[in-house]
A and B are shown apart, each in its own frame.
Chain A
Amino acid sequence: MSILVFIDHADGHFKKTTYEALSYGAALAKQTGTQAEAVLLGTVSEDAASLGKYGIQKVHQVNQEALNAFDPQTYIRIIAGIAQAIQATVIVFSHNSSGKAIAPGLSARLKAGLVTGAIALPDTSQGFLVKKNVFSGKAFAIVSIKTPVRIISLNPNAYPVVAGEGSAEVVQEALAPEAAKVKLKSVVRASGEIPLTEAEIVVSGGRGMKGPENWGPIEELAKLLHAATACSRPVADAGWRPHGEHVGQTGVAIAPNLYIAVGISGAIQHLAGVNRSKVIVVINKDPEAPFFKAADYGIAGDAFEVLPKLIGAVKKLRGLA
């Protein structure tokens, strides 16, 4: 009996969401009186044993470079094998591009009930109840998983990273190779940029920014705050910003610690994508903008006057000016 956590990595490094998933798995193991283990597929330049400090005992690694090219079918086959070998009762993923590709297939293969987008530890006092986001952030559902093996994918920024002391035992797993059906041709990653769904702070611009040429202050503020940049749907539709930056009901849903919305009026579809943010700041020229009702802090003013003041204040705070 144990909890099995999937270790997600890219370019040889563990993703930040992996530390969240490991911390979550370790806490769940403690809660249910079992131990947490993890599975690592592919090669990394970081020390897998060091993941023990997030509370896991063992890392099962298949150390093959071919696995760095992500093939969901192969991943599902391997993880299913390891999960069965260690009699995992709960398998934990991050609810990101990897988790979304693997967890559903694993669920169908193992007939293990799946809850995606979990935002808290399960209630295991009676059955197995997981809280998740539904209606695009407008509500929560408590979902009962009725099968003996359960799969959870954890929303990014929903569970804190808990690091302590310790080292994990790394067990190398042998694996019969099988040709992947999906060929990875290329990967393009915006270097140095913080992925939107993982960012703790997000600075976002809307139509009030008037044109793509005016994004300088948003980018500068984001850089100073180590934040990701985002935008509203009209901005993405107009081609002012790449559509990967579109947050909202039909774009990306995010839950950062701080969301700063500049020149966004706050349509209900936009709110759906951002209302899980812990603190929301709204800057808008129109004091009647509906977004203020959903905000924690607001400034009714011209973005082009307000942003330089904020940039100056952050620089001062950081000792840069």
Chain B
Amino acid sequence: MKILVCISKTPDTTAKIAFTDNNRKFAADGVQWIINPYDEWYALVRAIELKEKDPSAVIHLITVGTADADPIIRKALALGGDEALRVNADGQDSFFIASQIAAVAKDGGYDLIFTGKETIDYNGSSVGGMIAALLDLPYISLAAKFDLAGNSATIVREVEGGEETEEVSLPLVVSCQKGMAEQRIPNMKGIMGARTKPLKVLDPQPVEALTEIVSFELPPTKKGVKMIPAENAEELIRLLHEEAKLM
């Protein structure tokens, strides 16, 4: 079995969000970069768990990015995975990224392609579904559980107010979220091993992005909190009703 895990580099969850260049660029100075949490905690770790059950499985990691994504890829390799692929290009938009990954996966013989359910920076939730369509494979989004029996996957996906259980044959594309796996920390052996695992750099395909970010905005700041004394808590309901008109 061959698994391809898509990895994205995102600012740390506590990073200060600010913009430069007339609000056209994310201010990356001093920002800590991490593996997108959904890619790491759920997609990658679930793939590692599958390999632990079936040691013949091979895990490849893929990212679309320039050389500054290498530390993130090495960190992912320290958690697990046999080799990494980096398509050497700026990820212009979801379609551009999905097209690059699909081009690599097309003849790669992958049985499973895992992505996180979205990245925590652009919140697109799009790359997995696009890869699936480009490769004409089934796509299961928002998977919270994934079990494999032979060639057949049983997947629980979260939907509004409940869950759906689906059965589908490999190959397929899955977007992963909380519930899929438990978060892990790389150990020393993994970190040492990651240094010598192959990281192949590939040239991008000529693909035209379909969208482009024109500018960013920060949300308006709050006016300030109106405090209500605890002994007079009922006043909150009156304010919500009469002032905020919410009841």
Q: Which A residues form the contact surface with B (CB < 8 A)?
A: 10, 15, 70, 72-73, 76, 95-98, 100-109, 111-117, 129, 131-147, 181-190, 193-198, 201, 225, 236, 243-244, 246, 249-251, 253, 257-258, 268-269, 272, 275-276, 279, 281-282, 292-302, 305-306, 309-310, 312-314, 316-317
Contact = CB atoms under 8 A, between A and B. Distances in A.
Given A187-B162, A297-B228, A107 B239 contact: no
Given A279-B246, A300-B230, A114 B95 contact: yes
17 contacts: A70-B164, A73-B138, A103-B129, A104-B94, A105-B132, A113-B93, A116-B123, A116-B126, A129-B214, A140-B219, A144-B212, A183-B167, A195-B160, A249-B37, A249-B120, A293-B225, A299-B230
B interface majority secondary structure: mixed
A interface majority secondary structure: mixed
Contact of B228 (A115, A140, A272, A298): A298
A280 to B, nearest CB: 8
Contact of A188 (B11, B141, B162): B162
Interface string B205-245: 00001111111111100110111111101101111110010
A46 B93 CA distance: 39
Given A76-B133, A258-B246, A142 B37 contact: no
B120 A251 contact: no
Given A101-B139, A114-B94, 15 more contacts: A15-B160, A104-B126, A107-B130, A107-B133, A108-B130, A139-B217, A142-B213, A142-B217, A144-B213, A185-B154, A189-B162, A197-B160, A258-B246, A297-B240, A313-B236
Interface of B: 11, 13-14, 17, 19, 37-38, 41, 93-95, 98-99, 117, 120-130, 132-134, 138-142, 144, 154, 157-169, 175, 178-179, 209-219, 222-223, 225-231, 233-234, 236-241, 244, 246-247
A301 B230 contact: yes
B156 to A, nearest CB: 9
Contact of A189 (B128, B141, B161): B161
Contacts of B127: 104
Contacts of A300: 227, 230
Contacts, number: 283
B122 A243 contact: no
A282 B239 CA distance: 14
Contacts of A282: 225
A141 B122 CA distance: 9
A187 to B, nearest CB: 5
Please provide the 4 A-B residue pairs with the shortest distance between their CB atoms, ordered closest to farther. Answer: A301-B230, A104-B129, A113-B210, A189-B162
Contact of B129 (A100, A135, A292): A100
B219 A182 contact: no
Given A225-B247, A250-B120, A297-B228, A141 B236 contact: no
A136 B47 CA distance: 25
Contacts of A244: 144, 158, 163
Contacts of A269: 13-14
A148 to B, nearest CB: 11
B190 to A, nearest CB: 22
A279 B17 CA distance: 22
Contacts of B154: 185
A201 B228 CA distance: 20
B237 A296 contact: no
Given A195-B161, A306-B230, A97 B142 contact: yes
B212 A100 contact: no
Given A143-B214, A185-B154, A243-B179, A105 B139 contact: yes
